């Protein structure tokens, strides 16, 4: 039984810390398709000074493509440097595995995009000491703060 509640998913202090202090964002589900939301949000993150790291299972080494000028990786474990935030653009039923992988690689936070909800993953991730935001988007949060994207 999940112990989290909707208000804890979008804790303002956690949102602010991720948006203001954490710079390297692995974007799970990011491909080179500019019509996809993940691509648009990754561009926004870059405009805000974040380094994005494309993560998509179709990226097979050694031929993983670059997306938005950054090398892509097939898995979070393949990334050869520290990741601050794992930003997940996957269906809710698949998202929890990425939260677990984020904890395993020592990520500083996990962000599940708007509409992505897994209460058990939230509980596991936060119990492991990794802050998590769920069911919102950086663009929405920056707008809520009065900051133009």
Residues ≥6 apart with Cβ < 8 Å to 131: 11, 14, 17, 18, 108, 109, 110
For residue 7, name the pLDDT band (cuts at 50, 70, 90): confident
Contact 113, 41 (CB under 8 A): yes
Q: What is the pLDDT of residue 55?
A: 94
Q: How many CB atoms lie within 10 A of CB 40?
A: 14
**pLDDT for res 145:** 82
> How far is C-alpha 13 from the chain's CA centre?
17
Given a contact cutoff of 8 angstroms between Cβ atoms, the answer to whether 14 and 131 are in contact is: yes
Least confident of 8-22, 35-49, 81-95, 133-147: 133-147
- CATH architecture, domain 16-144: 3-Layer(aba) Sandwich (3.40)
Kindly tell me if the per-residue pLDDT of 6 is higher than 80.
no
For residues 4 and 12, the model is more confident at: 12
What tokens does 59 get?
A: 């990226």
The fraction of the chain above a pLDDT of 70, given in percent, is: 90
Residue pair 86/111 in contact by the 8 Å Cβ criterion? yes
Residue 1: band (very low, low, confident or very high) from pLDDT cuts 50, 70, 90: very low
**pLDDT on residue 59:** 63
| DSSP state letters, 82-144 | --SEEEE-S-HHHHHHHHHHHHHHT-SEEEEPTT---HHHHHHHHHTT--EE-S--HHHHHHH
| pLDDT tens-digit series, residues 26-82 | 999 998 889 999 999 999 999 999 999 999 876 665 566 889 999 999 899 999 999
The tokens for 31 are 């491909």
Give the Cα separation of 127 and 107 in Å (integer). 14
pLDDT recorded at residue 97:
96
């Amino acid at each position: 039984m999940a112990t989290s509640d909707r208000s804890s998913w979008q804790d303002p202090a956690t949102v602010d810390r991720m948006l203001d202090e954490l710079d390297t964002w692995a974007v799970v589900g990011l491909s080179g398709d500019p019509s996809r939301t993940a691509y648009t949000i990754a561009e926004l993150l870059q405009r805000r000074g974040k380094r994005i790291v494309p993560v998509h299972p179709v990226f097979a080494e050694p031929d993983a493509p670059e997306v938005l000028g950054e090398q892509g990786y097939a898995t979070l474990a393949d990334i050869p440097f520290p990741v601050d935030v794992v930003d997940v653009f996957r269906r809710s039923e698949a998202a929890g595995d990425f939260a677990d992988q984020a904890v395993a690689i020592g990520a500083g936070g996990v962000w599940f995009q708007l509409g992505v909800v897994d209460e058990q993953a939230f509980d596991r991730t936060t119990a492991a000491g990794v802050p998590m935001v769920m069911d919102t988007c950086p663009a929405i949060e920056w707008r809520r703060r009065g900051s133009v994207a």
